[in-house]
Amino acid sequence: MTPNHNKLPDLPPFCSPRWLVGGHLQSIYAKMRQSPPPAYRRELLPDSYGEDLAAYDFVDAANPDAPLVILFHGLEGSSRSHYAVELMHAVQACGWHGVVAHFRSCGGVPAKRKYHSGDTREIAHMLGLLAARYREIYAVGVSLGGNALAKYLGEQGRLNAPAVPRAAAVLSAPVNLAASGAALESGLPRLIYTRYFLSSLLAKMPPSDRKIRTLGDFDNAYTAPMHGFADKDDYYRQAAALPYLCNIAVPTLIVNAKNDPFLPARFLPAEHDVSPQVRLLQPEHGGHAGFVSGGSLGHLRWLPETVLRFFDQVRRANGKEAV
């Protein structure tokens, strides 16, 4: 019988520093607490269309047969993002292989074709490339990368394919893209995050006379037509992972803070939205991919430790050697 991973032992509770209040501050402050990046080994590998090269930044274990953790980053993220750096350090510490698989045009590697929140073709391709090298793969997706990973896992259903990881973790993913898009269109989220993302996104695009002031404008002008969607609303509907969560067949941990500015708490997935193989973890605090924990200045260890403990629990349930 397939284990029900909702019944696995408790994961560590999350507690942020008392002075670190609010989803915005918890999201932004995390970037100030990251460690220096590990010594990555970079490979440039073909994308799923064979048109562009994508960057894969590896941390290698001493044991060639150790499991691999692959990270799919968020919007305009990279192996230098705080969550990637902390996860790769934790992976190294437990003697596993790790890799940050960059979407096209990210990680400092230009590309003609870009990427989007529902790019499951590229997720499948990346996993397939790595499954040819590593026997045991675990996958982590953060924000945009988390939505794409969750959608891919739901699309696969119970298909026993080599490109399906043994277990997955989906972190701060805006699985309801329409609700997330609306949340980022006004108020503090628009003021805080729009300029940050647009400065990077627009630098990769040809000059245009169109007025791009929000991420929704960008998705209407570029993301939707570039990837075959009618407009941003069609893109958000087709690319959202939420309708696919009920079909996920591999053990999957989905972590969302209830104060995530990118997806209001009322739109977070509930137990009736997910399959028995999905475990929902929704702390009251943490912001968007922040999760600074502990006292004093805080640290970023809670998220990678939680993810790796979940993977360890899955391995134990399946008779594998513990981390």
Residues annotated as catalytic are 143, 260, 288
Kindly state the tokens that stand for 110.
């230009």
Kindly state the tokens that stand for 268.
């977070």
Strand bridging mode 137-142 / 68-72? parallel
Kindly state the tokens that stand for 321.
């050697």
Residue 281: CA atoms inside 13 Å, Cβ hemisphere, count? 26
CA distance 71 to 40: 13
Cα pseudo-dihedral 93, 317, 74, 20, rounded to 10: -70
From residue 322, how far is each of 204, 234, 255, 319 by CA, in Å? 43, 44, 22, 9
